[in-house]
Chain A
Amino acid sequence: MTTERATTDPHPADARPLLEIDRLSVDFRLESSVVHAVQDVSLHVHAGETLAVVGESGSGKSATALSVLRLNPSPPCVYTGGQIRFDGRDLLTLSEKELGRVRGRDIAMVFQDPMTCLDPLQRVGTQVAEVLRLHTGQSRAEARKAALAALDEVGIPDPEVRYRQYPHELSGGLRQRVMIATALVTRPRVVIADEPTTALDVTVQRQILDLLVSLQDKHDMAVVLITHDLAVVAETADRVAVMNKGRVVETGDVLDVFDRPADAYTRRLLAATPRLEAA
Chain B
Amino acid sequence: MTTATTAPETGQPLLELDGLRKEFGTRHTNVAVAGVSLRVHEGETLALVGESGCGKTTLTRMLLGLLDPTAGSVRFDGQDLATLTASQLRAVRRQMQVVLQDPYSSMNPRMRITDIVAEPLVTHEPEARGRRARARNRERVGELLEAVGLDAAIQDRYPHEFSGGQRQRVSIARALALRPRLLVLDEPTSALDVSVQATVLDLLADLQRQLGLTYVFVSHNLAVVAQVADRVAVMSRGSLVEVGEATTVLRTPQHPYTRRLLDAVPVLDPREGRRAARRAAAQTGEAGR
Contact = CB atoms under 8 A, between A and B. Distances in A.
A201 interface: yes
Interface class of chain B by DSSP: helix
Contacts, number: 124
Contact of B275 (A50, A230, A269, A275): A50
Given A231-B268, A235-B272, A237-B270, 10 more contacts: A202-B220, A205-B264, A213-B278, A235-B273, A235-B274, A255-B276, A268-B195, A270-B268, A276-B226, A279-B246
A3 interface: no
A273 interface: yes
Interface string A149-165: 00000000000000000
A231 B195 contact: no
29 contacts: A56-B195, A201-B220, A203-B51, A203-B261, A204-B51, A209-B266, A210-B274, A231-B265, A235-B270, A235-B272, A235-B273, A235-B274, A237-B275, A238-B279, A254-B270, A255-B270, A255-B276, A269-B194, A271-B198, A272-B194, A273-B194, A273-B223, A274-B197, A275-B226, A276-B226, A276-B262, A278-B2, A279-B229, A279-B251
B48 to A, nearest CB: 15
A70 B229 CA distance: 45
A210 B227 CA distance: 27
Interface in B186-222: 193-198, 201, 220-222
Nearest to B262: A276
Task: Give the interface SS of chain A, mostly helix, strand, loop or mixed.
Answer: helix
Contacts of B223: 231, 273-276, 278
B269 interface: yes
A132 interface: no
A237 B276 CA distance: 9
Interface of A: 50, 56-57, 172, 201-206, 209-210, 213, 217, 228-238, 254-255, 258, 268-279
A272 B223 CA distance: 11
Nearest to B264: A206
A276 B265 contact: yes
Contacts of A274: 194, 197-198, 201, 221, 223-224, 226-227
Contacts of A254: 270, 273, 275
